[in-house]
C-alpha cells in the first residue's frame, strides 16, 4: 500500500508542476488548450466576440445559482471547468491523486477529506458571491 500512496504523491507532484506551467503560459503557442489565459473564453458561449448574457433563470441550474452568461456547454463554468483549459485539467487530476492517496489509507479518511474540501470550496464561493 505504501507503494501506491507514493505513486499517488508522484502523480500529485507531476500535475502540480504541469498546472504551474499552464498558469505561467510557458507552453508552445500551438498548444492553446494548455494555456490558462484562454480558459475563461472556453467556459462561455461567444458570438461575434461577445459573451451571450442569460436573460432568464433555467431549470438546469440550482435554485440559488445561475451564471451571468450562457455556458459553452452545460456546467462548463463549474463542475466541468476542468474540460476548459489545461490549468483546471491538471488541478483536477492533482486533486484526484490526493483523494486516491487518502482512499488507500481508508475510506473514512477519504470521505472526511472530500467533505472538508467541499465545505471549504462552498464557503469560498459564498464569500465571493457576497463581496
pLDDT, tens digit (0-9, with 9 covering 90-100), for 29-45:
666 666 656 667 788 88
Q: What is the number of structural domains in the chain?
A: 1
Check: pTM over 0.85? Answer yes or no.
no
Distance between CA atoms of residues 57 and 65, nearest Å: 9
The alpha carbons of the chain give a radius of gyration, in whole angstroms, of 17
Domain ranges, residue 111: 2-130
- Lowest mean pLDDT: which of 20-29, 43-52, 84-93? 20-29
The per-residue pLDDT for range 56-96, each reduced to its tens digit, is 777 776 666 778 888 888 888 888 989 988 888 999 999 99
Three-state secondary-structure class, residue 77: coil
Phi first, then psi: what are they for 46, rounded to 5°? -120, 135
Amino acid at each position: 500500500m505504501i507503494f501506491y500512496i507514493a505513486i499517488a504523491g508522484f502523480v500529485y507532484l507531476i500535475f502540480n508542476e504541469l498546472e504551474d506551467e499552464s498558469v505561467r503560459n510557458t507552453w508552445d503557442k500551438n498548444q492553446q488548450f494548455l494555456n490558462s489565459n484562454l480558459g475563461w473564453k472556453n467556459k462561455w458561449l461567444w458570438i461575434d466576440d461577445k459573451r451571450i448574457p442569460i436573460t432568464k433563470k433555467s431549470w438546469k441550474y440550482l435554485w440559488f445559482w445561475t451564471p451571468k452568461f450562457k455556458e459553452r456547454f452545460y456546467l462548463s463554468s463549474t463542475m466541468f471547468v476542468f474540460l476548459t483549459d489545461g490549468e483546471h485539467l491538471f488541478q483536477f487530476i492533482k486533486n484526484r491523486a490526493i483523494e486516491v492517496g487518502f482512499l488507500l489509507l481508508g475510506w473514512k479518511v477519504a470521505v472526511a477529506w472530500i467533505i472538508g474540501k467541499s465545505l471549504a470550496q462552498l464557503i469560498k464561493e459564498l464569500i465571493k458571491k457576497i463581496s
